[in-house]
Structure 1
Amino acid sequence: MASPIFPVIDYSRLVSTDSVIAAEEKDKLFQSFHDVGFIYLKGHIFTDDFMKTIFSHIHKLFDLPEEYKLAIEGDEKSAFRGWFAPVRTARNPETADQKEAFGLGNDADPTRPNRWPKEWPEFRDDCSRFFEECFQMHLEILRALTEKVGLPRETLVPSVQAKDSYTALLYYPETTVESFDQRVRSAPHTDFGTLTLLFNDSIGGLQVRNKQGEWCDAPPIPGHAIVNVADLLARWFNNRLKSTEHRVVAPAAETRVLADGSVTNVVPARYAIAWFGHPNRDAVIKPLAECIADDYPQQYEAVIAGKHVKERMARLLDEGKLPEKWSDDMHRKEVPAA
């Protein structure tokens, strides 16, 4: 297995009022997203105590009885708000991702209401705070990237200000080593939108494909988020920023002694929380003119952000996993009116 090379970016330096310090970190950020597409982010705004609280919520949520989770199950009609398990919705459950998820969006958007568990206000408050503060960090990173191609720092902000982004609470249940013969925890894929902010527990399994096509481990680092470029941001920047394939596989198994004295190997459960930045659903995304040159021609046509994201999510529910790479010919064809 190849060794990962993930730059570490300090968010507190990125937003520093010292222009020299901020400029140095912005240079490093842009180069990292150009070369790798992934970074570790330290110095972010979430305290350790807040993240411990969020993860305690995630454990409690996925420990609820299935009938409780079914009452808040989400699908395409509910804009993917609520609980879902790919094994339940996939046409072929035997190859679906081994995970459960709970999706939520901007709680102030009445057109896409979140499906909150009842009588649990702390969960709603903390998840809403997480969403809002990730959105603000996402804006600062977008501003930094925009400046690096010679545009005013607020150029992309109007195209994301509707907060059509998405949080996924993720649970990968404890399982056997043998279950990975046909299924992984998350199949190889790229993300859909602008930027993903990922917060892991201490259990590993995330891998990223490097330039040589090798899968590299991306182990969690305490106090650090993992941030990666997604497809629509790569499209905006005409592939000058890299949307990189990644997956979640089995971490090292743990040996357990059973009540009868026998020994077995199990893959421990894993929990994570991902914030997926998306442009406004009606935004038209095409390469910025500043990222096109005679020796670097335009690589993408325009696409409507909401259509792109919706159809990626629908494919996840239908197939139980995402395709490794996405191309525009994968969009569902429009059905002519009768």
Structure 2
Amino acid sequence: MTTTFSSLPVVDVGALGLPTGASPAERAALSKRLYEVFATTGFAYLTNVPLSFKHEDVFDLSLQFFALPESEKMKLAKRSFRRTNTNTYRGYFPTQPELASDNLKEGFEMGPAKSIRTKSSVTSGSKFNLAEPNVWPDQNNFAARPSLERLYSELQSLSSELLSLLAVSLGKPADFFASYLDDSLSTLRLLHYPPVASSASGSRSAGSDVKLSCTPHTDSGILTLLHQDSTGGLEVQNSSGEWVAAPYVPESLVVNIGDLMARVSGGRFVATMHRVRAPAVGASAAAVSGQHRSPQTGRISVPFFFEPGENCLVRSVDGDEGFVVYGEHVRMKMKTWVEFQDDGDSN
């Protein structure tokens, strides 16, 4: 269970990027450290991460997308937002303050570059095709696609490494989670939180004047890796109910697990509540400023959600008889996610 932490722990994963790979002793130490983190805080900063992208690279890729005209972004909107579009799971979603005061963000979601071999088992009660291909802006207006596809691939590989370490930490073979990688539905999400004027309406946390862009929640899946800029706003709740700031740490990733991984761990790991404060007008991330950033940019974050394949059977490491079919799990969760709700646009 969570502890009364006052800051997030830091885990140096530089050994994973060594040319010769991490030694058995280094892997054992990392495995033990990750167990400690997920059994207590549920969140951590990963430093010396083996990625070829610097933070400024990642944020500039995001801003290249959000700088597109609204008309171009809406061409990629999920069918919930534009009836004439065929994509249902991947693509763009606009802010929806009319549906939820806390949904003060726009986003773009992509999956693997290669087609998923197993066709989506779309049920009669679902309109979402989890295995659908990505949608992209016109390449003449958006040159970032190859880099985003490479970033996705590198984050998927890092997730695989972390899952292997977590398997060992739970007393299982290093390849225990290998089946999760088959036809994985992992999602790379680009998020833009526009700045909010202090007088603007918006969701506020209970019993306070804190204005939120994202209300308190736990992630629903397996593993989240987050690039966040220096605007700030992410907060994590400790066991005393206090909200602990998770400020920007240069070139780090924030890592946390979701409800499903907590279940897989047999309750040894904890999925921790977190929220995002709304960026104020004038907020900018000067420490990682790029060519597309302006003083009115607001907050940029790029979470990567590791997800198993749609037909993957997810069960506890303790060997309990119960299991979850991942596709059924995520479809149920999607019913509560604002970005998958219908906004009534018939254009």
Aligned to 1:187: 215
Aligned to 2:250: 222
Residue 248 of structure 1: CA displacement? 0.6
Q: Residue 187 of structure 2 aligns to which amino acid in structure 1?
A: Y
Q: Per the alignment, in what secondary structure is the counterpart of residue 9 of structure 1? A: strand
Looking at structure 2, the residues matched to 155 and 170 of structure 1 have their Cα atoms a distance apart, in angstroms, of 32
Is it true that 1:278 corresponds to 2:307 in the alignment?
yes
Higher relative helix content: 1
Indicate how the Cα distance of structure 1 residues 212 and 70 shifts in structure 2: closer, same or farther if over 3 A, else same.
same
Residue 247 of structure 1: CA displacement? 0.9
Could you tell me the TM-score, scaled by structure 1's length?
0.80
Runs of 4+ off more than 4 Å: 251-256
Contact persistence 1:192–1:278 (CA under 8 A): no
CA displacement, residues 224-262 of structure 1 (integer Å, 9 cap, x when unaligned): 000001121111112211111111113566599xxxxxx
Residue 96 of structure 1: CA displacement? 3.9
Looking at structure 2, the residues matched to 180 and 239 of structure 1 have their Cα atoms a distance apart, in angstroms, of 38
Aligned to 1:62: 66
Is it true that 1:113 corresponds to 2:133 in the alignment?
yes
Is it true that 1:97 corresponds to 2:106 in the alignment?
no
Contact persistence 1:252–1:267 (CA under 8 A): no
Q: Residue 108 of structure 1 aligns to which amino acid in structure 2?
A: K
Q: Per the alignment, in what secondary structure is the counterpart of residue 11 of structure 2? A: strand
Residue 31 of structure 1: CA displacement? 0.6
Q: Per the alignment, in what secondary structure is the counterpart of residue 102 of structure 1? A: strand
Aligned to 2:199: 178
Alignment match of 1:24 (pick from 26, 29, 53): 29
Q: Residue 122 of structure 1 aligns to which amino acid in structure 2?
A: A
Segments of 5+ residues of structure 2 without an aligned counterpart are 81-85, 117-130, 205-211, 285-294, 342-347
**How big is the alpha-carbon RMSD for the aligned residues of Structure 1 and Structure 2?**
2.7
Residue 314 of structure 1: CA displacement? 3.8
Contact persistence 1:95–1:182 (CA under 8 A): yes
CA displacement, residues 23-67 of structure 1 (integer Å, 9 cap, x when unaligned): 222211111011011110011122454x32331121121122211
Q: Per the alignment, in what secondary structure is the counterpart of residue 146 of structure 2? A: helix
Could you tell me the TM-score, scaled by structure 2's length?
0.78
Aligned to 1:4: 6
Contact persistence 2:203–2:215 (CA under 8 A): no
Aligned to 2:232: 204
Q: How many residues align?
A: 298
Is it true that 1:36 corresponds to 2:64 in the alignment?
no
Aligned to 1:13: 15
CA displacement, residues 251-286 of structure 1 (integer Å, 9 cap, x when unaligned): 566599xxxxxxxxx986000111000111111222
Contact persistence 2:215–2:276 (CA under 8 A): yes
Aligned to 1:81: 90
Looking at structure 2, the residues matched to 305 and 79 of structure 1 have their Cα atoms a distance apart, in angstroms, of 18
Aligned to 1:167: 188
Q: Residue 99 of structure 2 aligns to which amino acid in structure 1?
A: P
Contact persistence 2:283–2:298 (CA under 8 A): no
Aligned to 2:287: none
